[in-house]
Amino acid sequence: MTRVANFNAGPAALPVPVLERARDELLEFGKSGMSIMEHSHRGKAYEGVHNEAIALLREILAIPETHHVLFLQGGASLQFAMVPMNFLGAGKSADYINTGHWSERAIEETQLIGKVRIAGSTKVGKTFPRVPKPGEIQVDPAAAYVHTTTNNTIEGTQWQVEPDTGAVPLVADASSDILSRRIDVSRYGLIYAGAQKNIGPSGVVVVIARKDLVASGRKDIPTILRYSTFAEHNSLFNTPPSFAVYMVRNVMAWIKEVGGLPQIEAWNKEKGRLLYGTIDAHPDYYTSPVENESRSLMNVVWRLPSEALEEKFVKDATSAGLVGLKGHRSVGGMRASTYNAVTVDDVKKLCGFMEEFAKKNRP
């Protein structure tokens, strides 16, 4: 077996010890005589895993008791609809900060349900070269909430600090940078994140939400689309995606084992230093479309001198065991997603390859 360096944008790399643990107990979880997938979600074995996943998330992210930790399904795409369905009552308006493709998707979905106001945007033509500066956001104090995207997977930009929204609840799509660094959860009304970057496999969404906000949600929407349903039943109102939650448990156990977010954050900073360092060392060859202060430590994007060279780069990199480097089709170029499970060594290999490629392939 030869494992590659996996720079996929999501679903993405998972830590090898997490996969090995899953493999070793795939036919028998504990001494139970069956796979975790075959356990009832009402039984002690699964319940233990479920509650451990929640407890570890609480511990690792220092989630205060003011907030629920919930497991949902349907991806961030369902969250785009659930947030306004729950919190955007008639006559109210919601503030959205537009920082990229996924912000726009959230905005479009909300417009189907209620009134959207743009509290800030960094769109320039069709691009988003940065996130807003603190003074650029104008929050409507009467807004139901302010929605932001903490990391823009396609554009390669990341907020360095939470926007200040005053008394208005901050709702964040943190799909692509949750658990990559320490955050102050108390500053958020609601955080949602599809698992398939830093949390686990696809098929589960983690929602961290202030209890009073959840309680204030509308009750005239379908039961399964209310956050309160999940909160009242510890995310066991209906059958959860049990294997995905089990994998979340394994990933959280791995994060704790390696030293928690301080260690994860140190690795991510080191990976960013190496990769941006390599880009910056070759300004005539590799160029970044992102302003320095907005650079993401999760999705590093860059261009080569021509599209033909970019195509060759992807092809040669794949042959060298460096996969998933093609940028999103909407923006082109290169993208290395360097989520938690991507190692410093993986990034060193990529940097070495970039050095060589720039030498050998002159435009």
Q: Which residues bind a second copy (CB under 8 A)?
A: 1-4, 6, 8-14, 16, 19-20, 22-23, 26-28, 32-35, 37-41, 43, 46, 73-78, 80-81, 85, 108-109, 112-113, 194, 196, 201-204, 220-225, 237-244, 247, 321, 323-324
In angstroms, give the least distance from the CB of 90 to a second copy: 16
Distance CA 149, CA 179 (A): 15
In whole angstroms, the minimum distance from the beta carbon of 28 to a second copy comes to 5
User: Which are the catalytic amino acids?
Assistant: 102, 173, 197
| Smaller CB separation from a second copy, 161 or 224 | 224
Q: How far is the CB of 94 from a second copy (least distance, A)?
A: 15
Q: How far is the CB of 275 from a second copy (least distance, A)?
A: 20
DSSP H stretches of helix in 220-297: 227-232, 242-258, 260-280
How many Cβ atoms sit within 10 Å of the Cβ of residue 25?
15
Toward a second copy, which CB reaches closer, 46 or 192? 46
CA pair distance 336, 322, nearest whole angstrom: 10
Q: What distance in Å separates the CA atoms of residue 35 and residue 4, rounded to the nearest whole number? A: 28
User: What is the arrangement of strands in the sheet containing 205-210, beginning at the earlier edge strand?
Assistant: 67-72, 205-210, 190-194, 170-173, 146-149, 93-98, 115-121
The Cα–Cα gap between 198 and 57 comes to: 12
Considering the complex, state which of residue 243 and residue 313 has its C-beta at the smaller distance from a second copy: 243
In the complex with a second copy, which residue's Cβ is closer, 168 or 298?
298
Q: Residue 348's closest CA among 287, 277, 281?
A: 277
Cα distance between residue 188 and residue 159, in whole Å = 14
Q: Distance (Å, rounded) from C-alpha 338 to C-alpha 299?
A: 6
Tokens of 49: 């895993």
Cβ proximity to a second copy, 13 vs 209, nearer residue: 13
CB of 233 to a second copy, least distance (A): 11
| Helix, strand, coil percentages in the chain from 3-state DSSP, rounded to 5 | 40, 15, 45
- Nearer Cβ to a second copy, position 138 or 238? 238
Residues in the chain: 363
* Ordered alpha helix ranges (H), 32-92: 44-61, 75-87
| Two tokens, residue 16 | 């090898």
Cβ at position 362, least distance to a second copy in Å: 30
CA distance 184 to 335: 28
